[in-house]
Amino acid sequence: QKEVEQNSGPLSVPEGAIASLNCTYSDRGSQSFFWYRQYSGKSPELIMFIYSNGDKEDGRFTAQLNKASQYVSLLIRDSQPSDSATYLCASSGTGGFKTIFGAGTRLFVKA
């Protein structure tokens, strides 16, 4: 069973701090990795995707991938209350058709 695992949280950080969200995956054939943000009662929206080992930065968000450790993370700098949501990690293997989602980590940013 191919799996993506995340700590369900909740992760609570003060406003302005760095939030660190982590994810591990079991399928070594996974090629692409995604972070989606989902507000309560809403649909997921893509924040970032990453293919290659290392870091990828986009504004306040940095995705990190370590394929040897099968580990993906998302850092959110200068966290804002509006970042409070559930963050879903997902991976897809060769062909990418069957993207596997983790259960999500709930993040609370305290003002």
Partner 1 sequence: NAGVTQTPKFRILKIGQSMTLQCAQDMNHNYMYWYRQDPGMGLKLIYYSVGAGITDKGEVPNGYNVSRSTTEDFPLRLELAAPSQTSVYFCASSYLTEGTEAFFGQGTRLTVV
Binding site for partner 1 (CB under 8 A): 4, 6, 8, 31-32, 42-46, 49, 51, 88, 90, 92, 95-104
Beta carbon of residue 91, minimum distance to partner 1 (angstroms, whole number): 11
**Which of 11, 17 has the CB closer to partner 1?**
11
Burial class (CB in 10 A: 0-12, 13-18, 19+), 69: exposed
Q: What are phi and psi of 81, to 5 degrees?
A: -55, -30
Asked if 106 and 88 count as a contact pair (C-beta separation under 8 A), the reply is no
Query: Which residue, 14 or 66, has its beta carbon nearer to partner 1?
Result: 66
> In angstroms, what is the minimal distance from the CB of 20 to partner 1?
19
In DSSP terms, 61 is beta-bridged to 58, 76
- The minimum distance between CB 104 and partner 1, in angstroms, equals 6
